[in-house]
Amino acid sequence: MHSSSSFNADVLLSQALAGSGECLGRLLDVYRNYLKLLAVSQLERKLTSRVSPSDVVQETFLEANRDFVSFRGSSSVEFCAWLRRILVNNLHRVVEQHVLAGKRDVRREVSLETLANNLEQSTARLDSILRDPGASPSSHAERHELEITLADQLAELPVDYRDVIVLRHVEALPFEAVGQRLGRSTGASRMLWLRAIEMLRDRMNARGEHD
């Protein structure tokens, strides 16, 4: 599995733009966990029982590979934004096919702005726990790298640890609701969250030491 310390996305992008299909595949894989986290945060719980977020991401990769010639950016940040737009279109289609059933409801539409804002808020909440206040990312590129790294590290946590962090920080649920979703008491869900955050913090710190 990739982490943001083990690749240079801008180098992969430049090589992909030069015609390397292999580098394009490696570049897309860099964003797999990040896009899956986005999809999970936007798909309703009842919908994820019928539609796999991984399938939505895979469809996004297929379309990105097909339409890469239309990409006009030059940086990994621009490439990631382009992938998000493709993901948004696929989420629209999933919601229309499985939820709206032909009855359009604009209040339930997913937008690029909603996705971007939700992810920024989610990573900011995690960042406030994992880092000292004075060590927060100062640039858009650094924020971008943190988002990818957090998604990768979350994907490697035990399932119950990952679920409690996603519910608490990505979906921003109170501990009572987290406990209901996990079939635990409020106190037990809070203790699970504390252990999960400690493990995630340790993983992030270990990654920083190896950079």
Q: Would you say 26 and 12 are in contact if contact means Cβ atoms under 8 Å apart? A: yes
Task: Please spell the DSSP secondary structure of the chain, one letter per residue.
Answer: ---TTS--HHHHHHHHHTT-HHHHHHHHHHTHHHHHHHHHHHS-HHHHTTS-HHHHHHHHHHHHHHHGGG----SHHHHHHHHHHHHHHHHHHHHIIIIITT---GGG---HHHHHHHHHHHHHHHHHHHS-GGGS--SHHHHHHHHHHHHHHHHTS-HHHHHHHIIIIIS---HHHHHHHHTS-HHHHHHHHHHHHHHHHHHHHHHHHH-
Looking at residue 41, its pLDDT comes to 76
Looking at residue 37, its pLDDT comes to 85
Looking at residue 12, its pLDDT comes to 94
> Which CATH class for the 9-110 domain?
mainly alpha
Looking at residue 121, its pLDDT comes to 75
Evaluated on CA atoms 118, 122, 127, 133, the torsion sign reads: positive
∠ Cα 131 135 138 (to 5°): 120
The first and second tokens of residue 81, run together, are: 């934004």
Chain-centre distance for alpha carbon 23: 21
Looking at residue 101, its pLDDT comes to 54
Q: What is the pLDDT along the chain (211 residues), one digit of tens a residue?
A: 444 434 589 899 999 999 999 999 999 999 999 899 888 877 766 566 678 889 999 999 999 999 999 999 999 989 998 998 898 888 878 877 766 554 554 444 555 566 567 666 766 776 666 665 455 555 667 777 878 888 899 999 999 999 999 888 878 899 999 999 999 999 999 999 999 999 998 988 887 665 5
Looking at residue 79, its pLDDT comes to 95
- Please tell me the pTM assigned to this model: 0.79
Q: Would you say 182 and 160 are in contact if contact means Cβ atoms under 8 Å apart? A: yes
The residue ranges of every structural domain in the chain are 9-110
Looking at residue 42, its pLDDT comes to 74
- Residue located via tokens 């394009």: 24
